[in-house]
Amino acid sequence: MKISGKTRVCGVIGDPIEHTLSPVMHNAAFEELNLDFVYLAFRVRREELREAIIGARSLDLQGLNVTMPHKNAVMRYLDEINSTARSIGAVNTILNDEGRLMGYNTDGVGALKALEENGITPNGKKLILLGAGGAGKAIAFHAAREVEELVILNRTPQKAKKLAEVLRKEFNKKINGDALSTEIMKEELRDADILVNATSVGMHPDIDQSLVPPSSLRTDLCVMDIIYNPLETKLAKDAKAVGAKVVSGIEMLVYQGAASFEIWTNHPAPVKVMKQAVLNKLSELGAHH
């Protein structure tokens, strides 16, 4: 990588940030396409978010990813917000368009693309989504366009019900929100086609946890877990054991990254290279298989 006076800077802001895999993924992509770009991680504290965005504009950064805890708060400092990101109420990608900062959300796009690239068409299917938080919400908005039926289950049922109501109005489909309980899940899973875990249950270090009773998993179900550390969550292992189709969290990470990459560079993202870079980094870190 040669840094010059013309090198464009992209980055990610969040707190904590040192565990992010985005620099590895994006720098591999820039290198692959021979683009004069570099990607860095910036730790930005909550109370310094406004200054950070002003700084990004002043330093003429090309673009930023936004991660916890800034995805909502950052919106008020941007010049324009894409309609999907506005509906979701969260931004994970910023483009600096000649001094105008534009906000996007690529989480939902990434999740759907991960399913489609693994041969799963959400069209006409019943999808169960666990979690109505940031990523859950983004996935819900994109899934609602495609699927026949959407069930959102959340620990705070109110949050799921509210989100379902908004989506029902917007997409006029069979969309329901309910409590994340074993009974309700068992019932809904009976005729579901796709199950997506968008909660943090099963994430390192709690790698032996799963919200889904193994007895409710079936061969003809597709399961996607958005967690990528461990590489294979308990939910993914249980699903594999019954012969269900499993899509790993790495896929969503890569496809949401690819969407950001395309917003910043106007080049098709080298997805294979990005995925390999992430996998290499995780094995180097001794990710928990």
Sign of CA dihedral 59, 102, 275, 225: positive
- Do 219 and 265 belong together in one domain? no
What mean pLDDT comes out for the span 167-179?
96
Predicted local confidence at residue 243, as pLDDT: 97
113 and 100 in a common domain = no
pLDDT at 286 (0 to 100): 78
Backbone angles phi, psi at 43, to 5 degrees: -80, 120
- Same domain? For 118 and 227 the reply is yes
* Helix (H/G/I), strand (E/B), else coil: 233: coil
The pTM for the full model equals 0.93
The answer to whether residue 3 is domain-embedded is: no
- 71 in active site: yes
Catalytic residue among 2, 6, 71, 173: 71
What percentage of residues in the chain have a pLDDT greater than 70?
99
Q: What is the mean pLDDT of the chain?
A: 96
CATH number of the domain where residue 89 is located: 3.40.50.10860
Say whether both 19 and 99 belong to one domain.
yes
Helix (H) or strand (E) segment spanning residue 50: helix 49-58
Give how many domains the chain has, as a whole number.
Answer: 2
- Do 217 and 273 lie in one domain? The reply is no
- Averaged over 127-133, what is the pLDDT? 96
Residues 181 and 94 in one domain: no
Residues 180 and 263 grouped into a single domain? no
pLDDT at 288 over 80: no
131 in Cβ contact with 107 (< 8 Å) = no
Q: Residue 1: which pLDDT band, with cuts at 50, 70 and 90?
A: confident
The percentage of the chain sitting over the pLDDT mark of 90, rounded to a whole number, equals: 95
Q: Identify whether residues 206 and 91 lie together within a single domain.
A: no
Domain coverage including residue 41: 8-105+253-284
Q: Are residues 116 and 100 in the same domain?
A: no
The domain that holds 223 is classified in CATH as: 3.40.50.720
- In tens, the pLDDT along 75-110 reads 999 999 999 999 999 999 999 999 999 999 999 999
